[in-house]
């Protein structure tokens, strides 16, 4: 009788172990599908593919979590932009139409005053 109970427990352990392995595989697959691609070139390739619709939706959802507002200003000479993030930081910049110069600055609110925390200038 004790041997029968032990065999039943061993069978239950093997069944549960197999189930755990299947579930772990499902978790690993879900993590792989939801992992953020950190390589910009790989991300662009995924987005351009016809089957990249899922990736585009996930990217859009991630952007909505982080970006509050995007503003564009287009003139005959310049294209300007401002990106307001949900944490209050604002990135603003301008590029000339020829693409020869790009100036940008990052602002963050400190004690109720927007202050420049980063600047970048690039000329081709």
87 pLDDT exceeds 80?
yes
Q: Which of the 8 DSSP states describes residue 111?
A: T
Give per-residue pLDDT as tens, 38-54. 677 777 787 788 877 87
The whole-angstrom separation of Cα 33 and Cα 58 is 10
Closest by CA position to 89, among listed 116, 61, 59: 116
Q: Does the pTM exceed 0.95? A: no
pLDDT for residue 17: 92
* Band of residue 31 on the pLDDT scale cut at 50, 70, 90: confident
Q: What is the pLDDT of residues 50-85, one digit of tens each?
A: 877 877 888 888 888 999 999 998 888 888 889 999
Q: Is 35 helix (H, G, I), strand (E, B) or coil?
A: coil
């Amino acid at each position: 009788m004790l041997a029968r109970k032990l065999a039943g427990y061993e069978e239950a352990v093997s069944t549960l172990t197999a189930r755990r392995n299947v579930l772990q595989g499902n978790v690993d697959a879900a993590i792989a599908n939801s992992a953020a691609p950190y390589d910009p070139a790989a991300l662009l390739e995924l987005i351009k593919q016809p089957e990249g619709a899922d990736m585009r939706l996930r990217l859009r959802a991630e952007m909505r979590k982080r970006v509050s507002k995007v503003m564009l200003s287009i003139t005959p000479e310049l294209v300007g932009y401002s990106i307001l993030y949900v944490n209050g930081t604002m990135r603003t910049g301008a590029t000339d139409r020829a693409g020869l110069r790009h100036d940008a600055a990052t602002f963050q609110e400190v004690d109720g005053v927007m202050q420049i925390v980063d600047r970048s200038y690039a000329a081709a």
